Amino acid sequence: MIALVTGGYGFIGNQIAELISPEYAEVRILDNLSNVARVVRLPNVRLIKTDIRDIGATNEAFDDVDVVFHTAAQVDVVASTREPFVDMDNNVKGTLSVCEAARRNDVSKLVYSSSAAVYGNAASFPIDEAQPIRPLSPYAVSKHCGELYMAAYHNLYGLSTLSLRYFNVYGPYQRPENAYSGVISTFFYNATRNAPLQIHGDGNQTRDFVYVTDVANANLLAASSDAANAVVNIGSGRETSINELAMMIKKMALSDSSIAHGAPRISDGRRSLADIRNAKRIINYEPKIRIDGGLAKLRQFFGDTR
C-alpha cells in the first residue's frame, strides 16, 4: 500500500510520515518546502516537491495512492488576519485540489488536519463536536471550509474522509516564531536564553495542549478505522492556563526569565478543553503524553539543540 502526506516535512506532517513508514510499502511526501520543520530520511519515504495548489502535479502525485494525510496548510492564525487571501489560497484552494486528486485517483481514505480554532469562544466545556462553529479568524474559517469539502466529497463521490480537529499541538521541531500555535516552543526558546516570556492578556486563558506524537498516532488510527464523513476532536482532555504553562517552563528550564503581560489578541479564545470521547469511540484514540511529560521531552530537545 502507498500513503501520501501533504506537508510531510512540516511540524505535524514529519511526525506522521515517520510513524506510518513501517505500515506502508511507500510513503510519498508532497511538500513545496516553504515551511520545513524536519526532513524525513527513511528508505521507503520519498519527496515530491510541488505545491498542492498545482492541481495537475497533485493529481499526478496521487497515482496509485491508497491513503492521504492532508496536513499542508498556512497555519499562522495571526498571519491569516494580516493576509486573509493568502490564507484562503493555501487552505481552501489547496484542500480542494487535494480532494479532487483523491477523487480522481480513487483514494481509499483521506484524513484531513483541521483545527479546534473553528469553535472560537465555545459555549460550554469540555468542547464536543456538536458545539456551534464560531470562527474568530480567517484561518479558522478556512479550516472549517476544508471540513465542508470533506463532507461534500464524501456525499457526492463516496470518498472516505475523516476530519481531525486538533487542539493546541506542541512538540519538537515546532517553529517558535509562530506566535499562536508555537507558544510552548516560544516559551522554551526564550526561557533557555533567560529572555522574557511574553503573555498576551492576563494569562488566565486556558489551552488543551496535545503532544505531537499523540496527534500523529490519531492520524494512523483514523486511516485504519472504518469511520467516514465524521469530525473528531484530537486533544489531551486536560486544560492548562498560560500563566501555569509559563511557570512550568521557567522551572523546567532553570530560567531567570521574567514574565510580561501585554494586550490580548482579538483572535484568541478564552478557554479551550477538548471532549475526546468521540475520538475514543470512533478511532480508539487515547492520548499517552501528559503536559508534564511532554514538556520534559521538549526540554530535552531544546537542551540538545541549544
Tens digits of residue pLDDT in 176-210: 766 555 789 899 989 989 999 999 999 999 999 99
Q: How many of the other CB atoms lie within 10 Å of CB of 179? A: 15
Torsion of CA 207, 168, 281, 125, to 10 degrees: 20
Is residue 275 scored above 60 in pLDDT?
A: yes
Residue range 25-38: mean pLDDT, rounded: 96
Is residue 144 scored above 50 in pLDDT?
A: yes
Share of the chain above pLDDT 90, in %: 88
Confidence of residue 283 (pLDDT cuts 50, 70, 90): very high
- Asked if 185 and 193 touch (Cβ cutoff 8 Å), the reply is no
pLDDT for 180: 54
Please say whether the dihedral angle defined by the alpha carbons of residues 277, 282, 284 and 287, taken in this order, is positive or negative. negative
For residues 197 and 183, give the distance between their C-alpha atoms in angstroms, rounded to a whole number.
Answer: 10
For residues 100 and 272, give the distance between their C-alpha atoms in angstroms, rounded to a whole number.
Answer: 33
Confidence of residue 306 (pLDDT cuts 50, 70, 90): very low
SS3 of residue 67 by DSSP = strand
Q: Which residue has the higher pLDDT, 115 or 268?
A: 115
Q: Concatenated DSSP letters for the chain?
A: -EEEEETTTSTTHHHHHHHHGGGSSEEEEEE-SSS-S-----TTEEEEE--TT-HHHHHHHTTT--EEEE--S---HHHHHH-HHHHHIIIIIHHHHHHHHHHHTT-SEEEEEEEGGGG-S-SSSSBPTTSPP---SHHHHHHHHHHHHHHHHHHHH---EEEEEE-EEE-TT--TT-TTTTHHHHHHHHHTTT--EEEESSS--EE-EEEHHHHHHHHHHHHHSS--SEEEEES-S--EEHHHHHHHHHHHTT----EEEEPPPTT--S---B--HHHHHHH-------HHHHHHHHHHHHHHH-
User: What is the pLDDT of the chain when averaged over all its residues?
Assistant: 94
- Does residue 139 have an active-site annotation? yes
pLDDT for 257: 95
Model-level pTM greater than 0.85? Answer: yes
For residues 218 and 164, give the distance between their C-alpha atoms in angstroms, rounded to a whole number.
Answer: 8
Range scoring the smallest mean pLDDT among 127-141, 179-193, 213-227, 244-258: 179-193
For residues 202 and 188, give the distance between their C-alpha atoms in angstroms, rounded to a whole number.
Answer: 20
Domains within the chain, CATH numbers bracketed = 2-170+211-237+274-283 (3.40.50.720), 183-206+239-273+291-305 (3.90.25.10)
pLDDT for 301: 86
Confidence of residue 123 (pLDDT cuts 50, 70, 90): confident
- Provide the CA 287 distance to its chain's centre, in angstroms: 15
Q: Which three cell numbers stand for residue 36?
A: 520545513
For residues 23 and 15, give the distance between their C-alpha atoms in angstroms, rounded to a whole number.
Answer: 14
| Residue 126, preceding peptide bond in cis (omega within 30° of 0) | yes
The one catalytic residue among 9, 112, 139, 180: 139
Confidence of residue 270 (pLDDT cuts 50, 70, 90): confident
Is residue 35 scored above 50 in pLDDT?
A: yes
